Amino acid sequence: MRAAARIGHQRTALAAERAWSADPYAEALRAGRGPLFLRRADGWLLPLDVERWCAEADAADLEVLRRCEGAVLDVGCGPGRLVAALGARGHRALGIDVSEAAVAHTVGRGGQALLRSVFDPLPGTGRWGTALLMDGNVGIGGDPGALLARLARLLTPGGRLIAETVPYPDVDERTPVQVTDAHGTPGVPFAWARLGTPALLRYAEGAGWRAEDEWSTGGRCFVALRAK
């Protein structure tokens, strides 16, 4: 059963890697701007905030970084604003991302980053003090329970996870999506999830976490969890 689950995560990771490594996402990162969207099968578009991702860490980001403990693993680091800001504050930080463009951008900012999925073998397993799931990355893999269980294994006992949730409490969505641009250029479909805070807390309870804090700032919502 574990082997089958592992193969499933590997296939999901490969699909996501193809989607995030190809245009139009790579082009948007290189340009530092969108428009860019996640597109559901029914045609609904979720705008992606490329400009904010490529900018410096903002006040909401800095509040998150203030709560980080020990060495920090930024899962789905994107163009690396958080990794760079953590390094400037003296934290040992590593970003991981399945996009070559994102990893290159992070390294270009002076941060450390690896081209990896969170489900790949990673350095420091069991020793990270904090993991970050920002900018919708709680959706990685389309299986929140599996993602949270994986992060519990990556962190030190009692480690902290800080996750950003959508600002709509009743959202608990798991669906295939594609990255697309203003021209509607379709990307490779991959599994994704969107969670409000109540849904994240439900998944967390079943995956070895206890809720520690939740807050909102700048129109964004966050949850801090502690590994049991």
Q: What pTM does this model have?
A: 0.90
Q: And the tokens for 129?
A: 């003090």
Contact assessment for residue 190 and residue 15, using Cβ atoms and an 8 Å cutoff: yes
Residue 69, judged by CB atoms within 10 A of its CB (0-12, 13-18, 19+), counts as middle
For the beta carbon of residue 206, count every other beta carbon within 10 angstroms: 11
Contact assessment for residue 8 and residue 145, using Cβ atoms and an 8 Å cutoff: no
Tens of pLDDT along 121-170?
999 999 999 999 999 999 999 999 999 999 999 999 999 999 999 999 99
pLDDT bin (cut points 50, 70, 90) of residue 177 is: very high
The domain tally of the chain equals: 1
Contact assessment for residue 143 and residue 119, using Cβ atoms and an 8 Å cutoff: no
pLDDT averaged over every residue in the chain: 91
Q: Do you find a cis peptide bond into 24, omega within 30 degrees of 0? A: yes
Q: Domain containing 208: what range?
A: 2-227
Question: Domain containing 223 — which CATH number?
Answer: 3.40.50.150
Residue position matching structure tokens 């003090």: 129
pLDDT at residue 176 greater than cutoff 50 = yes
Tens of pLDDT along 14-45?
556 555 555 789 999 999 999 999 999 999 99
Tens of pLDDT along 104-120?
999 999 999 999 999 99
- Residue-level pLDDT at 65: 98
